[in-house]
Structure 1
């Protein structure tokens, strides 16, 4: 087994886990560091799918109790309405009350927020992969996103939704369209959803938590689709490399999620904005002054 390849897998796994849920673009970081490590072949695409899936599983594990409660409550509510309300009052009368139940509304909001990225992703997947997955696009979007975060943080801030359960489907849809912007690498899925949440009235912690929950269906769907598109690249011989990256990403993501939730409860996103801007400028400078020969630039 190639020790250097295992070290690359370890480093990229840690980078993915630490950045997936921070507003700094995990995809952008994987593109940049994958290029620097000269790990950009077809196998690397499959590897990135695996470590992104590990990060999502880390959130599922971290929020397992809350997700399980919502699932069991939703199942109980659904059974009750199916047995009683829908039979006695009919679909049109019972449905509004059904959708107002907290557990049902939670899953309904995730579904509604998931739709914009799902539809637009299917429509533009090939174009985005072909033309936008390169270091210069990433650097530009890192800088632009950082400036946008600074602008949002300077606005008057009056949150009206203090828990995920307070959200309506219209709030979820708005956040969903914000998430769709993150299909451009370097934008940051979590950054787009969190900043969008702040604009639309979510508290900092609520915006961050909804971003984590929304990542579950979004990244699961993206992972399944990427596996389908790259199935021929999977090889049992690559299992050790994938395993190292998977484990590193899983545990790094668990650490990042816990620390991030604690941080955002009482702090702004300004440090992340400046990190994005400085990182993006360094990448552009390295290209302009020919310090680094970027493979895909």
Structure 2
């Protein structure tokens, strides 16, 4: 594989890692960058290119595991967080939170892959997702009742899980949907982001695994280096973006990200019209 093609994988990994946990839609950004500039479909093929965009998210998931390993191990009972007498947030909360998106994702995966990985659908997702984020900041409680993961009930975890289903539409943003939903349900922004990141591990790992298995016959073994570069790039850049975003979201909330999404959508509309 030529060096320039590997550079494309590096760029897409950068885009994935830097945007996966910000409420701006990493999949949407990868589609935009790829369709407007990189054109990986020309040598990967449509099916393989879409699979690549999903599979390299595993790099970002690995970054979550590295950054939040203590909390993840505590959820499954393999680690006790220092100074914490009880851990009410457990594996049950995560399972309840991922079931809705997991079910809808399996049911509509083929339709999404074949019809929604386009610039037009991304623009729609960017705009509607931005509106939801502004609504969350404006109408969410001024003094959130839930300020830690251990205060999240199973009922709220399930409701956030249903809201997460919106993110199956490329451009909507998984973190944007779930953080907004969490805020509207009484979580503060930091806790909503923590819950979002933890739910992302099984959801994205499952989605990536299923997509990889279903499209394995479309993947040329000569392209494995392309996948590897994208994966490693996404992992490295996600390590930086996770810690930065968790600090940023507590300070600036969601609205600045919503404004960015609306500006980006406006630019894309101009490009599509022309």
Structure 2 counterparts to residues 181-220 of structure 1, below 5 A: 181-220=166-205
Name the CA shift for 1:35/1:129 in 2 (closer, same or farther; >3 Å).
same
Higher mean displacement: 11-20 or 135-144: 135-144
Q: Which has the larger radius of gyration?
A: 1
Structure 2 counterparts to residues 15-30 of structure 1, below 5 A: 15-30=15-30
**Structure 1 equivalent of residue 97 of structure 2:** 113
Query: Do residues 71 (structure 1) and 76 (structure 2) align?
Result: yes
The offset of 1:4, in angstroms, is 1.4
TM-score (norm 2): 0.91
Q: Distance in 2 between matches of 1:61 and 1:21?
A: 14
The offset of 1:143, in angstroms, is 1.5
Q: Which runs of 4+ in 1 moved over 6 A?
A: none
Q: Distance in 2 between matches of 1:258 and 1:145?
A: 23
**Structure 1 equivalent of residue 145 of structure 2:** 160
The offset of 1:74, in angstroms, is 8.4
Higher mean displacement: 58-67 or 274-283: 58-67
- State whether residues 136 and 181 of structure 2, in contact with CA within 8 Å, keep that contact through their aligned partners in structure 1: no
For 2:242, what is the secondary structure of its paired residue? Answer: helix
Structure 2 counterparts to residues 105-254 of structure 1, below 5 A: 105-155=89-139, 156-254=141-239
For structure 2, the residue ranges without an aligned partner over 5 or more in a row are 81-85
For 1:102, what is the secondary structure of its paired residue? Answer: coil
**How many equivalent residue pairs?**
263
Q: Distance in 1 between matches of 2:54 and 2:272?
A: 27
For 2:252, what is the secondary structure of its paired residue? Answer: coil
Higher mean displacement: 227-236 or 178-187: 227-236
TM-score (norm 1): 0.84
Q: Provide the alpha-carbon RMSD of the alignment.
A: 1.7
